[in-house]
Amino acid sequence: QVQLVQSGAEVKKPGASVKVSCKTSGYTFTNNWMHWVRQAPGQGLEWMGVINPSDGVTHYAQKLQGRVTMTRDTSTSTVYMDLSTLRSEDTAVYYCARDHSNDNTWWFDPWGQGTLVTVSS
């Protein structure tokens, strides 16, 4: 079955960077785009960006442009999300989610289990 397994929780100081991984299995890695979504404590879901594993093309949320970088490693079927210049507002659970689209609809299935990133001095 399709699985997205994310790396473990991180604690970072303000100004540092964090890199979260999402290892995929159970399907052809290059067939589906992969999105990253985050959720701050007690808040809603926030779309961060997407990467096409086939060619590495990315699209990022405007508010994160310049701080977020998404990459992929086709040899290990893994995608990565790097967020730099961390601030306390970046404390959140970060999810990867496999993209599907058809007939003017986009949806995620499945999601990774989530990675808690805590930014604290």
Partner 1 sequence: SSELTQDPAVSVALGQTVRITCQGDSLRSYYASWYQQKPGQAPVLVFYGKNNRPSGIPDRFSGSSSGNTGSLTITGAQAEDEADYYCYSRDTTGNQWVFGGGTKLTVL
Tell me the window of 8-16, 69-77, 79-87, 112-120 that interacts with partner 1 (CB under 8 A): 112-120
Contact status: 69 vs partner 1 (CB under 8 A): no
Contacts of residue 37, defined as CB under 8 A and 6 or more positions apart, other chains included, come to: 45, 46, 47, 48, 94, 95, 96, 97, 108, 111
Beta carbon of residue 13, minimum distance to partner 1 (angstroms, whole number): 26
Contact status: 36 vs partner 1 (CB under 8 A): no
| Other Cβ atoms within 10 Å of 5 Cβ, number | 13
CA–CA distances in Å: residue 36 to residues 33, 112, 114 = 10, 10, 10
x/- map, 73-102, partner 1, by CB under 8 A: ----------------------x------x
Tell me the window of 19-27, 54-62, 66-74, 78-86 that interacts with partner 1 (CB under 8 A): 54-62
Q: Which residues bind partner 1 (CB under 8 A)?
A: 35, 37, 44-47, 50, 59, 61-62, 95, 102-109, 111-114
